Copies of this chain bind each other. A is one copy, B any other.
Amino acid sequence: MPQPVLPSVNSSHRLGLDPINTPSRLLLGPGPSNAHPTVLQALARTPIGHLDPLYIQLMGEVQELLRYVWQTDNRLTIPMSGTGSAAMEATLANMIEPGDKVLVAIKGYFGLRLADMAGRYRAKVVTIERPWGEAFSLEELEQALITHKPAILAMVHAETSTGVCQPMEGIGELCRQHDCLLVLDTVTSLGAVPLFLDAWKVDLAYSCSQKGLSCPPGLGPFTMGPRAEAKLAARSGKVPNWYLDVSLLNQYWGSDRVYHHTAPVNMNFGMREALRLLAEEGLENAWTRHRRNAMALWTGLESLGLELLVPEELRLPTLTTVHIPEGVDGKAFSRHLLDHHGIELGGGLGALAGKVWRIGLMGYNSTPENVERLLKLLQSELPAFRSSSPAMASVG
């Protein structure tokens, strides 16, 4: 049989490029943060098959260490093969059946996103809101549970858009009293801020790889407990998302090893090393390190005359929001730090766009040296960006 005559190849999109030559940045924004060098080296290993016995062993190690960093015994603890946003969607996609009432407690950008996502899975979405920079009290959450009687309460532990850490004591217990599942966003807390999923009675949680875990972005840790498993098992129809369907994923991650999708093996090499290093340091030590370095940052920022958005008792050690001083073009200053000093800061998101910088000290980047380097730069470089005002001289 003759091969068909093929068209000729069009080379209009055939770019001729030099080898990649990205610079070494210090990433002090909301993420990605720098990865540990050992983790980066693991990414560069020769891939192995996703059904190779050695890979299956590695999967078990990753699962077990995720349980440790989340402080949970949940059987269904796995990294989703996408970023943290995919793991976020996985919690809702697997739990929501059409018509389920989902209460979203919104105090920043990622709460808004949870509400958007839940609507796509045909939930009846109800919301309560706090201004960006604040947290919810136990009383207002209880009142909302009583009023709305939701099947699911979704909320954010560490709100990356504001730098607020939601106090969690008592919330899980309330959810059980009101027969409601608790979904928790731990994207900016896992590995860096105290987290006790089981003690806090959290039913589902998700996170990312590129913050407290010191791995590049690309994997989304996910976990669900027995109450969530029961809701999944009782679903009347298929999960309306094939890629994130935990009932299928569990046939691969569980003992059957049924092929679902080709795992991102190199990213999981990195995740395994990131978790190994964190277990070696010890969770309490990592938490203490993050708090100590954040406190040094806060003191330093305030001594430069800068104001922090969040009251100290609600501040995340991983992410600090600083008001951009009046008269300063925040974007121009960030660009200056990036272009001339190789340091990335984050800008504001949503309601805080143009109003704050977001400074991350996460995982491998949470060091006294990085705090000092940034404070020195703020001291030396910021004055030139302030418009001439009486306050200027006193800061420079």
A interface residues (Cβ-Cβ under 8 A, vs B): 1, 3-4, 6-7, 9-17, 19-20, 22-25, 27, 29, 31-32, 34-35, 38, 40-50, 52, 54-55, 58, 61, 64-65, 67-68, 71, 73, 81-86, 89, 113, 116-117, 119-122, 167, 169, 194, 196, 199, 208, 210, 216-218, 238-244, 259-267, 269, 272-273, 276, 279-280, 282-284, 312-313, 338, 344, 349
Contacts and interface: CB of A to CB of B under 8 A. Distances in A.
Chain A binding site: helix, strand, loop or mixed by DSSP?
Answer: loop
14 contacts: A4-B167, A7-B196, A9-B283, A13-B68, A15-B68, A22-B55, A27-B49, A32-B49, A41-B44, A83-B261, A120-B240, A120-B242, A210-B262, A216-B266
Contacts of A64: 13, 15
A4 B68 CA distance: 21
A199 to B, nearest CB: 4
B89 A243 contact: yes
Nearest to A245: B120
A169 B67 CA distance: 52
A221 to B, nearest CB: 13
A16 B280 CA distance: 7
A261 B48 contact: no
A264 B89 contact: no
